[in-house]
Amino acid sequence: MRDFTNDLRWLAINSATIKSWPLQQQIEGCAQAGITGIAPWRDGVAALGPKRSRELLRAHDMTATCYCRGGMFTAAEAAGRKAAIEDNKRAIDEAAEVGARCLVLVAGGLPPGSKDIAGARAQVRDGIAAIASHARTARMPLAIEPLHPMTAADRCVVSTLDQALDLCDELGDGVGVAVDVYHVWWDPALKAAIARAGTRILTYHVCDWLVPTADLVADRGMMGDGIIDLRGIRAMVEAAGYAGHCDVEIFSARNWWTRDPAEVLQVCVERHRSVV
Protein backbone atom coordinates (compact mmCIF):
# COMPACT_ATOMS: atom_id res chain seq x y z
CA MET A 1 0.00 0.00 0.00
CA ARG A 2 1.29 3.45 -0.88
CA ASP A 3 1.98 5.95 1.82
CA PHE A 4 -0.23 8.85 0.78
CA THR A 5 0.38 10.69 4.01
CA ASN A 6 4.02 11.57 3.61
CA ASP A 7 4.13 11.32 -0.11
CA LEU A 8 3.45 14.54 -1.96
CA ARG A 9 3.39 12.64 -5.25
CA TRP A 10 -0.32 12.04 -4.64
CA LEU A 11 -1.29 15.61 -3.84
CA ALA A 12 -2.91 17.68 -6.60
CA ILE A 13 -4.56 21.08 -6.54
CA ASN A 14 -7.73 22.01 -8.35
CA SER A 15 -7.22 25.36 -10.07
CA ALA A 16 -10.32 26.73 -8.38
CA THR A 17 -8.60 26.46 -4.98
CA ILE A 18 -6.02 29.08 -6.01
CA LYS A 19 -8.07 30.87 -8.61
CA SER A 20 -6.70 34.36 -8.03
CA TRP A 21 -3.56 33.19 -9.86
CA PRO A 22 -3.60 32.68 -13.62
CA LEU A 23 -2.88 29.11 -14.76
CA GLN A 24 0.81 29.67 -15.47
CA GLN A 25 1.39 30.96 -11.95
CA GLN A 26 -0.67 28.09 -10.55
CA ILE A 27 1.51 25.53 -12.31
CA GLU A 28 4.72 27.24 -11.24
CA GLY A 29 3.47 27.77 -7.68
CA CYS A 30 2.44 24.13 -7.31
CA ALA A 31 5.79 22.93 -8.69
CA GLN A 32 7.61 25.17 -6.25
CA ALA A 33 5.58 23.72 -3.36
CA GLY A 34 6.48 20.17 -4.45
CA ILE A 35 2.99 19.42 -5.72
CA THR A 36 2.81 17.13 -8.75
CA GLY A 37 -0.74 17.46 -10.06
CA ILE A 38 -3.18 20.16 -11.02
CA ALA A 39 -6.79 20.11 -12.23
CA PRO A 40 -7.18 22.98 -14.69
CA TRP A 41 -10.44 24.71 -15.61
CA ARG A 42 -11.46 25.60 -19.13
CA ASP A 43 -11.24 29.35 -18.64
CA GLY A 44 -7.67 29.15 -17.36
CA VAL A 45 -6.62 26.95 -20.27
CA ALA A 46 -8.40 29.23 -22.76
CA ALA A 47 -6.53 32.25 -21.38
CA LEU A 48 -3.12 30.55 -21.56
CA GLY A 49 -3.82 28.49 -24.68
CA PRO A 50 -4.10 24.66 -24.66
CA LYS A 51 -0.73 24.14 -26.35
CA ARG A 52 1.14 26.44 -23.96
CA SER A 53 -0.73 24.86 -21.02
CA ARG A 54 0.45 21.42 -22.06
CA GLU A 55 4.03 22.63 -22.52
CA LEU A 56 4.10 24.23 -19.09
CA LEU A 57 2.60 21.16 -17.44
CA ARG A 58 5.24 18.98 -19.09
CA ALA A 59 8.07 21.36 -18.25
CA HIS A 60 7.12 21.10 -14.57
CA ASP A 61 6.42 17.36 -14.69
CA MET A 62 2.88 18.14 -13.59
CA THR A 63 -0.04 15.73 -14.10
CA ALA A 64 -3.32 17.25 -15.28
CA THR A 65 -5.46 15.07 -13.04
CA CYS A 66 -8.80 16.07 -14.50
CA TYR A 67 -10.19 18.79 -16.75
CA CYS A 68 -12.98 20.95 -15.32
CA ARG A 69 -15.47 20.77 -16.63
CA GLY A 70 -18.06 19.55 -19.07
CA GLY A 71 -21.68 18.54 -18.60
CA MET A 72 -24.68 20.83 -18.09
CA PHE A 73 -26.66 18.71 -20.53
CA THR A 74 -30.17 19.75 -19.48
CA ALA A 75 -32.15 22.42 -21.31
CA ALA A 76 -35.79 23.26 -21.98
CA GLU A 77 -35.33 23.25 -25.77
CA ALA A 78 -33.69 20.74 -28.11
CA ALA A 79 -31.43 23.50 -29.45
CA GLY A 80 -30.05 24.08 -25.97
CA ARG A 81 -29.31 20.39 -25.49
CA LYS A 82 -27.62 20.23 -28.89
CA ALA A 83 -25.47 23.25 -28.04
CA ALA A 84 -24.42 21.54 -24.80
CA ILE A 85 -23.40 18.41 -26.71
CA GLU A 86 -21.29 20.45 -29.12
CA ASP A 87 -19.69 22.35 -26.25
CA ASN A 88 -18.86 19.08 -24.49
CA LYS A 89 -17.17 17.77 -27.63
CA ARG A 90 -15.00 20.89 -27.61
CA ALA A 91 -14.22 20.29 -23.93
CA ILE A 92 -13.14 16.73 -24.78
CA ASP A 93 -10.79 18.03 -27.47
CA GLU A 94 -9.33 20.64 -25.11
CA ALA A 95 -8.81 18.05 -22.39
CA ALA A 96 -6.98 15.85 -24.88
CA GLU A 97 -4.84 18.78 -26.07
CA VAL A 98 -3.87 19.60 -22.51
CA GLY A 99 -3.18 15.94 -21.77
CA ALA A 100 -5.67 15.65 -18.90
CA ARG A 101 -6.42 12.24 -17.40
CA CYS A 102 -10.19 12.70 -17.69
CA LEU A 103 -12.96 15.23 -18.29
CA VAL A 104 -15.24 15.91 -15.33
CA LEU A 105 -18.97 16.06 -16.11
CA VAL A 106 -21.44 17.90 -13.90
CA ALA A 107 -24.85 16.81 -15.15
CA GLY A 108 -26.94 19.98 -15.01
CA GLY A 109 -30.08 20.76 -13.02
CA LEU A 110 -33.73 21.05 -13.90
CA PRO A 111 -34.42 23.23 -16.94
CA PRO A 112 -36.01 26.56 -15.90
CA GLY A 113 -39.69 26.09 -15.09
CA SER A 114 -39.51 22.29 -15.18
CA LYS A 115 -40.62 19.95 -12.40
CA ASP A 116 -39.66 16.83 -14.34
CA ILE A 117 -36.55 15.46 -12.63
CA ALA A 118 -36.87 12.07 -14.33
CA GLY A 119 -36.94 13.88 -17.67
CA ALA A 120 -33.87 15.92 -16.71
CA ARG A 121 -32.03 12.72 -15.79
CA ALA A 122 -32.96 11.22 -19.15
CA GLN A 123 -31.53 14.33 -20.86
CA VAL A 124 -28.27 13.81 -18.97
CA ARG A 125 -28.07 10.17 -20.05
CA ASP A 126 -28.81 11.12 -23.67
CA GLY A 127 -26.26 13.93 -23.53
CA ILE A 128 -23.45 11.71 -22.27
CA ALA A 129 -24.43 9.00 -24.77
CA ALA A 130 -24.16 11.60 -27.54
CA ILE A 131 -20.55 12.50 -26.65
CA ALA A 132 -19.29 9.06 -25.60
CA SER A 133 -17.98 7.96 -28.98
CA HIS A 134 -16.25 11.32 -29.51
CA ALA A 135 -14.58 10.83 -26.12
CA ARG A 136 -13.53 7.27 -26.95
CA THR A 137 -12.01 8.40 -30.23
CA ALA A 138 -10.11 11.14 -28.40
CA ARG A 139 -9.15 8.60 -25.69
CA MET A 140 -10.54 10.96 -23.09
CA PRO A 141 -12.32 9.20 -20.20
CA LEU A 142 -15.49 10.92 -18.96
CA ALA A 143 -15.87 11.25 -15.18
CA ILE A 144 -19.45 11.74 -14.03
CA GLU A 145 -19.38 13.65 -10.75
CA PRO A 146 -22.40 13.21 -8.48
CA LEU A 147 -23.19 16.39 -6.56
CA HIS A 148 -24.92 16.79 -3.21
CA PRO A 149 -28.72 16.48 -3.59
CA MET A 150 -29.19 20.08 -2.42
CA THR A 151 -27.82 21.05 -5.84
CA ALA A 152 -30.23 18.87 -7.84
CA ALA A 153 -32.52 21.75 -8.80
CA ASP A 154 -29.95 24.08 -10.31
CA ARG A 155 -26.72 22.19 -10.96
CA CYS A 156 -26.76 18.43 -10.94
CA VAL A 157 -29.57 15.88 -11.04
CA VAL A 158 -27.05 13.06 -10.48
CA SER A 159 -26.90 12.99 -6.69
CA THR A 160 -25.33 9.72 -5.61
CA LEU A 161 -22.41 7.59 -6.64
CA ASP A 162 -24.72 4.67 -7.34
CA GLN A 163 -26.77 6.83 -9.68
CA ALA A 164 -23.59 7.83 -11.53
CA LEU A 165 -22.54 4.18 -11.70
CA ASP A 166 -25.92 3.21 -13.14
CA LEU A 167 -25.16 5.66 -15.95
CA CYS A 168 -21.70 4.14 -16.39
CA ASP A 169 -23.22 0.65 -16.60
CA GLU A 170 -25.61 1.86 -19.26
CA LEU A 171 -23.09 3.87 -21.29
CA GLY A 172 -20.18 1.43 -21.27
CA ASP A 173 -16.47 1.90 -21.92
CA GLY A 174 -14.81 5.22 -21.35
CA VAL A 175 -17.30 6.48 -18.77
CA GLY A 176 -16.41 6.49 -15.07
CA VAL A 177 -16.94 8.63 -11.99
CA ALA A 178 -15.39 11.47 -10.03
CA VAL A 179 -15.58 10.92 -6.27
CA ASP A 180 -15.70 14.24 -4.42
CA VAL A 181 -15.89 13.77 -0.67
CA TYR A 182 -17.84 17.01 -0.29
CA HIS A 183 -20.71 15.59 -2.31
CA VAL A 184 -20.81 11.97 -1.16
CA TRP A 185 -19.63 11.82 2.48
CA TRP A 186 -23.21 11.64 3.83
CA ASP A 187 -24.35 8.71 1.66
CA PRO A 188 -25.17 5.58 3.74
CA ALA A 189 -24.40 3.46 0.66
CA LEU A 190 -21.01 5.11 0.07
CA LYS A 191 -18.75 2.23 1.02
CA ALA A 192 -20.60 -0.25 -1.17
CA ALA A 193 -20.83 2.25 -4.02
CA ILE A 194 -17.07 2.93 -3.95
CA ALA A 195 -16.41 -0.81 -4.01
CA ARG A 196 -18.86 -1.12 -6.91
CA ALA A 197 -17.07 1.69 -8.76
CA GLY A 198 -13.70 -0.07 -8.53
CA THR A 199 -11.32 1.17 -11.20
CA ARG A 200 -14.03 3.34 -12.70
CA ILE A 201 -13.01 5.98 -10.13
CA LEU A 202 -11.14 8.35 -12.45
CA THR A 203 -10.48 11.23 -10.07
CA TYR A 204 -10.75 11.83 -6.32
CA HIS A 205 -11.49 15.27 -4.82
CA VAL A 206 -10.95 16.35 -1.23
CA CYS A 207 -11.89 19.30 0.98
CA ASP A 208 -14.06 19.39 4.11
CA TRP A 209 -17.65 20.09 5.16
CA LEU A 210 -17.87 22.98 7.60
CA VAL A 211 -20.45 23.11 10.38
CA PRO A 212 -22.40 25.23 9.89
CA THR A 213 -21.89 25.62 6.17
CA ALA A 214 -22.89 28.98 4.73
CA ASP A 215 -23.26 28.04 1.09
CA LEU A 216 -23.10 24.74 -0.81
CA VAL A 217 -21.19 26.18 -3.74
CA ALA A 218 -18.55 28.43 -2.23
CA ASP A 219 -18.09 27.59 1.45
CA ARG A 220 -15.97 24.47 1.36
CA GLY A 221 -13.52 23.89 4.17
CA MET A 222 -9.83 22.98 4.21
CA MET A 223 -9.20 19.33 5.00
CA GLY A 224 -9.29 18.86 8.77
CA ASP A 225 -11.55 21.85 9.48
CA GLY A 226 -14.83 19.96 9.11
CA ILE A 227 -16.58 16.66 9.72
CA ILE A 228 -15.67 14.45 6.76
CA ASP A 229 -13.87 11.20 7.59
CA LEU A 230 -11.16 11.79 5.00
CA ARG A 231 -8.94 8.91 6.04
CA GLY A 232 -11.91 6.57 6.04
CA ILE A 233 -13.06 7.52 2.54
CA ARG A 234 -9.52 7.45 1.20
CA ALA A 235 -9.15 3.91 2.52
CA MET A 236 -12.32 2.98 0.62
CA VAL A 237 -11.11 4.39 -2.71
CA GLU A 238 -7.70 2.79 -2.28
CA ALA A 239 -9.33 -0.53 -1.51
CA ALA A 240 -11.37 -0.13 -4.69
CA GLY A 241 -8.12 0.15 -6.66
CA TYR A 242 -7.82 3.91 -7.07
CA ALA A 243 -4.16 4.80 -7.47
CA GLY A 244 -4.22 8.44 -8.49
CA HIS A 245 -4.00 11.88 -6.94
CA CYS A 246 -6.06 13.49 -4.18
CA ASP A 247 -7.20 16.76 -5.75
CA VAL A 248 -7.75 19.55 -3.26
CA GLU A 249 -10.84 21.38 -4.51
CA ILE A 250 -11.86 24.23 -2.24
CA PHE A 251 -14.37 26.87 -3.28
CA SER A 252 -14.22 29.31 -0.39
CA ALA A 253 -15.44 32.85 -0.86
CA ARG A 254 -15.14 33.83 2.80
CA ASN A 255 -11.76 32.30 3.61
CA TRP A 256 -9.32 30.55 1.29
CA TRP A 257 -10.03 32.63 -1.80
CA THR A 258 -9.17 35.76 0.21
CA ARG A 259 -5.67 34.50 1.05
CA ASP A 260 -2.36 34.47 -0.81
CA PRO A 261 -2.41 31.29 -2.97
CA ALA A 262 1.17 30.50 -1.90
CA GLU A 263 -0.04 30.32 1.70
CA VAL A 264 -3.03 28.20 0.67
CA LEU A 265 -0.68 25.72 -1.04
CA GLN A 266 1.44 25.44 2.10
CA VAL A 267 -1.65 24.67 4.18
CA CYS A 268 -2.76 22.08 1.59
CA VAL A 269 0.63 20.37 1.85
CA GLU A 270 0.47 20.32 5.67
CA ARG A 271 -3.10 19.02 5.77
CA HIS A 272 -2.36 16.43 3.10
CA ARG A 273 0.29 15.10 5.43
CA SER A 274 -1.78 15.30 8.61
CA VAL A 275 -5.40 14.52 7.72
CA VAL A 276 -6.04 13.43 4.13
Nearer to Zn ion, 55 or 229 (CB): 229
Q: Which residue in the set 205, 220, 234, 271 belongs to the binding site for Zn ion (CB under 5 A)?
A: 205
Give the three-class secondary structure for 259.
Answer: coil
Among 16, 30, 147, 180, binds Zn ion (CB under 5 A): 180
Nearer to Zn ion, 42 or 205 (CB): 205
Inter-residue contact 246 to 206 (CB < 8 Å) = yes
| CB neighbour list of residue 242: distance below 8 Å, 6 or more residues apart | 179, 199, 201, 204
Residue number with CB closer to Zn ion (131 or 202): 202
Q: Which residue number has the CB closest to Zn ion?
A: 180
Q: For Zn ion, give the closer residue by CB, 81 or 183.
A: 183
Q: Amino acid identity of 20?
A: S
Bridge partner list, 179:
204
Q: List Cβ<8 Å contacts ≥24 apart for 190-193.
A: 190/161, 190/233, 190/236, 191/236, 193/160, 193/161, 193/162, 193/165
Q: In angstroms, what is the minimal distance from the CB of 207 to Zn ion? A: 8
Chain residues 241-260 in contact with Zn ion, contact rule CB under 5 A? 249
Closest CA to 73 of 158, 168, 189: 158
Interacting residues with Zn ion between 112 and 141 (CB under 5 A): none
Least distance to Zn ion, CB of residue 79, Å: 29
Task: Please identify, using beta-carbon distances, which residue of 225 and 249 lies nearer to Zn ion.
Answer: 249
Q: How far is the CB of 14 from Zn ion (least distance, A)?
A: 7
3-state SS assignment for residue 45: helix
Is 208 one of the binding residues for Zn ion (CB under 5 A)?
no
Tell me which residues touch Zn ion (CB under 5 A): 180, 205, 249
